[in-house]
Amino acid sequence: MNIAVKNQKSKKDRIKRSMLILGGLICIFVLIVIIRTYNIYQKDLPSFEKLHNIEPALKTKIYASDGTLLQEYFNENRVLTPYDQIPPFMIDMLMAVEDRKFMDHWGLHPKRIIKALLVDIINWDIAEGASTITQQLARMLFLNRRETIERKIKEALTAIKLERTYSKQEILQMYLNQYFFGRRAYGIAAASRTYFNKSVGELSVSDCALLVGLLKAPGRYSVRIFEDPEFAKRIRNQSLYLYHDWGKMSREEYDSLKILPVELNPPVEEAGRAPYFTEEVRKYILNKYGHETLYSGGLTVITTLNWKLQQVTDSAVKERVDSIQARLERIYDIKNPTYTYAIPDSVDSLGDTVRVYKQIQAAAITIENESGNILAMVGGKSFESTKFNRAVQSELQPGSAFKPFVYTAAMDNGYHPSDIFYDNSIKLEIPGTRDWRPHNFDDKFMGEMTLRDGLKMSRNLIAIKLLLKIKPEQAIFYAHKMGITSDLKPVASLAMGTEVVRLIDLVSAYTVFPNGGIKVPYKYILKITDRYGNVIEDNTVVPKEEVLSARTAYIMVNMMQSVMERGGTGQSARWRGFTRPAGGKTGTSDNFCDNWFIGYTPQITSGVWVGFDEKLSIGKNQTGATNALPIWVKMMIAAHDTLPIVDFEIPDGIEFVDICLESGKLASDCCEKIRNEVYRTENVPQEICPLHPCSGFRISPASKTDNYTDPGDTSDVYHF
């Protein structure tokens, strides 16, 4: 008996030793497999350095100069939220639904893995998930979502490395900032705003339950919850039940919450503020820093835009454009093929069309003179209709708004505002073409007048004669160095603004006048910082270049102030309410197609264009003063709302003397038409007016009256 017991005990010992040996061999085998597997996939796993430097894609934010958010650009709509700002019940809700053992495991959950493996073997497919929160994070950060054994292995190994690199709190923070919640929302902050229009701190337990419920299938669920309120309620209640089941909520609380409806409150989708302006900023960043930085780099861009002024500009443009459009639609029949076009009436029927009116457009820009900061920009009536920015992209005929460049070239090369020219008919004989007989806006002639009055009243024939005196190439030289970038042909019609320019160039070039001859490049951006707050671009230092003498610039300012006075083409600015010291110029292209007004004060320069996208008349007598100037006035009143009233600075070497308007010489006591005129000190006239000696005699030829009538057959002839 004892021998039998002894033999039986010995047998059990042998079995036990065999089991221990077998278990040891299995452990060694498993260890070898693990080591071998790790070595095989090690090269494909993220390094510890990469794990330490995880940078989720962040959106770039564009701000106005006052901090108003204008626009956001992103591939993944994400705002990072620190762990201590995430509601504790959101953390618990996540663990209750996804991984209750999260705080205890080391990246993997062995029991869940074995269970999932058995289910997969039985189904002969990868059907059962066993991923921990850490494994899900590993997959989001570094791996694809294909359900393969290889990906599962890499996921597990990466999860282990994540657990060795980060604390549990850091992993939870990364998870909730990284995960996709549907509807382009990445991370809890974007999801809070997308579904509830709340900040993270404002989320309720019920809100968090829905967000966690979305994680199972964010693409499908994020659509369905808006279509099916009962479905939204069901996935929220599943999360609430698991939260209660884990002991984080009483039965009474669960019962009271589960009957409540899901209250979704998505924010209203907008095109963004100042869309024409921000699109220029977007293109600049894309070209300089690249697609990845723009859409994933988390840049903060502080722009030059004045948001209050932008709103006034938007409103002024819309109001004026709507008024012109209404007038055109009253005048022209809907069947008129010039002002309307046909569009398909229905996608269902072939050949059916309906006619609609062509849309009048406008563009406007305001620039701060000293800094070059673009304060406001509108590129058209509607960014949603067309993203084409007419303030920057369109090249259009400026009409008389180009004349200041002709006069600038003349004033800088020996001419004076008091020089007398004749406003009479001219004929240009151009070899190989028909003779050209240009005309004034009103088809009249005013005879002898000063260059100042020629600019003030925008007399085309005076400008053409002056251009031919100084040569077109000279005017082009000054236009280019002041800021015009388009190609300009040296033709006589250049004086009438027949060569095309961009609005932004024209406005920028005009800033040279109030800047005392200094050219300051325009800019959109003040500063750009990266996701860590490091400044990567600072434009607060303003580059400056002297392109005109201060005296020439001031003489032009003084002449262009006359445009705003009584009898000038810009005089309506005064009775419209803008009374500050200002200079400017109207512009109207041939056949009333393009209307312009560009004007400035010592602090601000603004420009407006109104017209069609094609060369189409706005209507007879529709001029820059009629349509562009009203917009300009509203912009400038708003732009100067908080600025002091200042006058233009008079540089050294400038003097004012009384001259006779009929002779252009120093006025005598007997001259009746007198003006206090501006000169360089060395160019002050020394000769007393010979037409009005104080002996009682007066010479005043009829040809020098304001009612001068051109005889028609005595035109000045120029060979060009």
CA dist., res. 340 & res. 426, Å (int): 38
Residue 135 clears pLDDT 80, i.e. is over it: yes
Per-residue pLDDT, 664: 83
Residue 133 clears pLDDT 80, i.e. is over it: yes
Residue 584 clears pLDDT 70, i.e. is over it: yes
Neighbours of 434 (CB within 10 A): 8
Residues 139-193 have pLDDT tens digits of 877 655 566 666 677 777 778 888 888 899 999 999 999 889 998 899 999 999 9
DSSP 8-state code for residue 501? B
**Percent over 90 (pLDDT), the chain:** 62
Amino acid at 589: S
CB 681 within 8 A of CB 389: no
Per-residue pLDDT, 347: 43
Q: Which two tokens stand for residue 58?
A: 């962040």
Residue 709 clears pLDDT 90, i.e. is over it: no
CA dist., res. 348 & res. 553, Å (int): 63
Residue 31's pLDDT band (cuts 50, 70, 90):
low
For 77-258, CATH number?
1.10.3810.10
The whole-angstrom distance between residue 522's C-alpha and the CA centroid of its chain comes to: 14
Residue 427's pLDDT band (cuts 50, 70, 90):
confident
Residues 480-493 have pLDDT tens digits of 999 999 999 999 99
DSSP 671-691: -SSEEEEEEEGGG---SBPSS
Long-range contacts of 715-718 (CB under 8 A, 24+ apart): 715/424, 715/425, 715/426, 715/427, 715/437, 716/422, 716/424, 716/425, 716/426, 716/427, 716/465, 717/426, 717/427, 717/429, 718/426, 718/427, 718/428, 718/429, 718/468, 718/492
* For the ranges 99-113, 153-167, 569-583, the one whose mean pLDDT is highest: 569-583
Residues 653-683 have pLDDT tens digits of 999 999 898 888 888 888 988 999 999 999 9
CA dist., res. 326 & res. 318, Å (int): 12
Residue 511 clears pLDDT 60, i.e. is over it: yes
CA dist., res. 599 & res. 368, Å (int): 12
Secondary structure (3-state) at 423:
strand
Write down the H helix ranges in 425-471.
451-456, 460-470
- Alpha carbon dihedral 241, 242, 248, 249, in 10-degree steps, equals 0
Neighbours of 612 (CB within 10 A): 16
Per-residue pLDDT, 561: 98
Pairing of β 426-429 and β 716-719: parallel
Residue 710 clears pLDDT 70, i.e. is over it: no
Residue 122 clears pLDDT 60, i.e. is over it: no
Its sign, for the CA torsion 383, 386, 388, 390, is negative
* For the ranges 20-24, 48-52, 180-184, 519-523, the one whose mean pLDDT is highest: 519-523
CA dist., res. 541 & res. 15, Å (int): 86
- Looking at per-residue confidence, does 344 or 720 come out higher? 344
pTM, whole model, 2 decimals? 0.80
Reported residue count of the chain is 720
Q: How far is CA 524 from CA 284, 303, 377, in A?
A: 9, 6, 10
DSSP 8-state code for residue 42? G
Per-residue pLDDT, 552: 98
Per-residue pLDDT, 150: 62
Please name which of 314, 453, 480, 463 lies closest in space to residue 401, comparing C-alpha atoms.
Answer: 463
Per-residue pLDDT, 140: 76
Residue 126 clears pLDDT 50, i.e. is over it: no
Cα Rg, the chain, nearest whole Å = 39
Query: What average pLDDT does range 362-385 have in this prediction?
Result: 96
Which residues are catalytically annotated? 98, 400
Please name which of 545, 507, 551, 526 lies closest in space to residue 639, comparing C-alpha atoms.
Answer: 507
Beta partners for residue 264, in sequence order: none
Residue 41's pLDDT band (cuts 50, 70, 90):
low
CB 580 within 8 A of CB 361: no
Q: Is 372 left (phi over 0), alpha (psi -120 to 50) or beta?
A: left
Q: What's phi and psi for 421, nearest 5 deg?
A: -125, 160
Contacts of 26 (CB under 8 A, 6+ apart): none
Question: Is 57-75+273-394+520-546+601-648 assigned to CATH 3.40.710.10?
Answer: yes
Residue 25's pLDDT band (cuts 50, 70, 90):
confident
Per-residue pLDDT, 197: 93
**Percent over 70 (pLDDT), the chain:** 83
Q: Compute the mean pLDDT over every residue in the chain, rounded to the nearest whole number.
A: 86
Residues 215-254 have pLDDT tens digits of 999 989 999 999 999 999 999 999 999 999 999 999 999 9
CA dist., res. 510 & res. 553, Å (int): 10
- Looking at per-residue confidence, does 272 or 71 come out higher? 71
339 by Cβ neighbours in 10 Å (0-12 / 13-18 / 19+) ranks as: buried
Residue 213 clears pLDDT 70, i.e. is over it: yes
Residue 333's pLDDT band (cuts 50, 70, 90):
confident
